[in-house]
Structure 1
């Protein structure tokens, strides 16, 4: 995480295609296995015997390994307990009636510190990695029949299904915290049904002296839990320095919305098309509510930006918004490292190949034709959802996860001006991570919003 916290200084030397290849290997060989080990511990309530059963492999012989595992799990449980307590105190303070007498800055620092340590407790499981005793990703790919039960009706009538005006949730905000000339507050939802899973969360960040500022709603990529990693500083924060109100939405299954016993974004991957469709369709409706909330605060126009999975969600939101009242529509759009052929992603791309996803999908009964049946729920339409001059793209020539050919095809279909499409000699990760050091395309997007 230190590299991400110092992106502007290291970009000229690090954020090149070799770093993309290294990052992908790190995700597959280290981050995902350690995350699964970390979340399995939570799932079995940190019980050593149940943990060994969950791994599926016995420990090496000898009492030392058993004692070591018990100590490891005990430390991981302490980190979780610390986070739960810090978050409880945080919610009592930020939602309570006595905020004026509470040091909210200290409460947030304690919450973030505990969250960061909880996330970094993954490193406790390194000995198991070296022993070859890490559990595999918890695959549970839904069959076409199961997916059909949930989404066949939606695919037949996506306009009705993707309609934020039908939402019953009411947005509630915390007290504000001011630090370093910046105001922070959080939004959550009340009244969501249990079928919606953990409620919406978003962090709102704005200059303390801003009067009716323009707003940027930002959607993150998979496993990016920015409210849980201390010191995370990416391109989105540049919007605040430019006088914007920034709304960082927390995606389903991430951060506070993570189901116990899973890691951030795991369900999107492990359940196959079901997780992918469920994420995009849910999150775009939540983002629409945040756009409407921002308009209700007064001020200028509202832009929408997304990176990777967040970009796929943003582009589908923009297309679906043709049928919505103006309050829910973004005024401008920026898509970073995206593809225009979303329904084929589960069959292609290097990440899918490395995870043997095509084989796993075929084994569960999936074909290309079946995947395309649900394209209306996730794929952008061929006509631009906004005036082309209001849509911006950032693509990487070396992107092996969402190949640039599909992003370029979408830009052509939407007839985006050449100056609105930035193509860099980078890959999926470095094209975005390198933005703080070379932010011209992002600033161009922000300036367009300001002048609407």
Structure 2
């Protein structure tokens, strides 16, 4: 609403009355957004600009950027009174014919479903000293036309060199670690001597579209959202892997949590169509499922958002949905050695349902010593890795070999 109470009320209708002191909240939101934009602009100039910048100034700039980002994100709490009166998602579900027109050719030839992206120019920032070691950022134009934006990744280097290997680590939906404080499993891998490359997913963080929360377009657009997000993030991941192998180490593995794991397993399914330097050596999949459509339509998050009803209203039948499984679900077998894939599942996971994860583990012949199942839910499975480090230890041993 750009800070306008009148525009806010016009957008929400009677529901706007449920937000006391809307004028003050909107004014504060606009102010914090401007502060973030100013901090981010100064950050970009310092880290990517042509002028020399001393190391202490870089640290100051990053602290200021992150604080401004976290303050802006925290404004969401001010809108809690509306959570039951305003739809969770701004729905704009694409119809089956629209998805067919945009992506139908990708279904005709398997090798074309995720064809290798053309090389792009990577830009690397100045480094800054972080808590564990040197950190820097890399960015590139997204190779996928539907994105049309800049893809970003943050790189965490271990203190000791040479590195044991690199892990490209993909975060979960709605998780935006560049924007506010979140638990991050990258630390455990960095402590074990690995460099971690942490990309930002499409529609998240710096790439978030105005008027949406992080990752919202994936749900809002229905099947088109899933197809577009996976196309972009899988192909961007191929480029991150290629960059890491050329710049950091010839050992490059792929990891992911939740949405990140769903993306990583697609990459692990199709990477045999890519040049060797873009192929991961292994995969670390945390809270995943081989049946995305079950999770997307019947999982607890899908039920909360009302995904099934929205798809049905847009003309999606079970048959129409099944046609697009090849673009959003893993193949029958991986393009990697199953012995180099580690999987973590929770038997109480209802977001990426546990049964689908176990079916994938059996289908892919994941060795018993690489499969870790806990009596945990979706979020506690990932957080539990801070206490039970055996899965991280196993992945590290495999990826370094």
The answer as to whether partners of 2:138 and 2:153 remain within 8 angstroms in 1 is yes
> Following superposition of structure 1 onto structure 2, how do residues 172-251 of structure 1 map, counting pairs within 5 Å?
172-190=123-141, 195-230=146-181, 232-251=182-201
TM-score (norm 2): 0.95
TM-score (norm 1): 0.84
Identify if the C-alpha distance between structure 1 residues 306 and 427 changes in structure 2 by more than 3 Å, giving closer, same or farther. same
The answer as to whether partners of 2:146 and 2:228 remain within 8 angstroms in 1 is no
Residue among 263, 270, 275 paired with 2:213: 263
The answer as to whether partners of 2:126 and 2:136 remain within 8 angstroms in 1 is yes
> Following superposition of structure 1 onto structure 2, how do residues 35-434 of structure 1 map, counting pairs within 5 Å?
44-57=1-14, 59-60=16-17, 68-101=21-54, 103-129=57-83, 134=86, 136-164=88-116, 166-167=117-118, 169-190=120-141, 195-230=146-181, 232-434=182-384
Identify if the C-alpha distance between structure 1 residues 408 and 184 changes in structure 2 by more than 3 Å, giving closer, same or farther. same
| Greater RCO (Cα-Cα under 8 Å, separation 6 or more) | 1
Task: Give the Cα–Cα distance (whole angstroms) in 2 for the partners of residues 126 and 415 of structure 1.
Answer: 45
Q: How many residues align?
A: 400
Of stretches 277-286 and 93-102 in structure 1, the one that deviates more from structure 2 is 93-102
- State the partner residue of 2:389: 439
Deviations 1:222-251 (A, max 9, x none): 001001113x33222211111110001100
Cα RMSD over matched residues? 2.0
Task: Give the Cα–Cα distance (whole angstroms) in 1 for the partners of residues 114 and 329 of structure 2.
Answer: 13
1:60 Cα deviation from its structure 2 partner: 4.7
1:303 Cα deviation from its structure 2 partner: 1.0
The answer as to whether partners of 2:143 and 2:236 remain within 8 angstroms in 1 is no
The answer as to whether partners of 2:89 and 2:305 remain within 8 angstroms in 1 is no
1:273 Cα deviation from its structure 2 partner: 0.8
Task: Give the Cα–Cα distance (whole angstroms) in 2 for the partners of residues 356 and 127 of structure 1.
Answer: 20
Task: Give the Cα–Cα distance (whole angstroms) in 2 for the partners of residues 303 and 60 of structure 1.
Answer: 51
The answer as to whether partners of 1:190 and 1:199 remain within 8 angstroms in 2 is yes
Identify if the C-alpha distance between structure 1 residues 344 and 134 changes in structure 2 by more than 3 Å, giving closer, same or farther. closer
Deviations 1:40-97 (A, max 9, x none): xxxx212111101111216559xx95xx211110001111001000000000000112
Gaps of 5+ in 1: 1-43
Gaps of 5+ in 2: none
1:134 Cα deviation from its structure 2 partner: 4.1
The answer as to whether partners of 1:172 and 1:189 remain within 8 angstroms in 2 is yes
Deviations 1:123-182 (A, max 9, x none): 2223545xx654542111111011111111112224224123x33532111111113451
The answer as to whether partners of 1:158 and 1:377 remain within 8 angstroms in 2 is no
The answer as to whether partners of 2:167 and 2:255 remain within 8 angstroms in 1 is yes
Identify if the C-alpha distance between structure 1 residues 126 and 360 changes in structure 2 by more than 3 Å, giving closer, same or farther. closer
1:447 Cα deviation from its structure 2 partner: 1.2
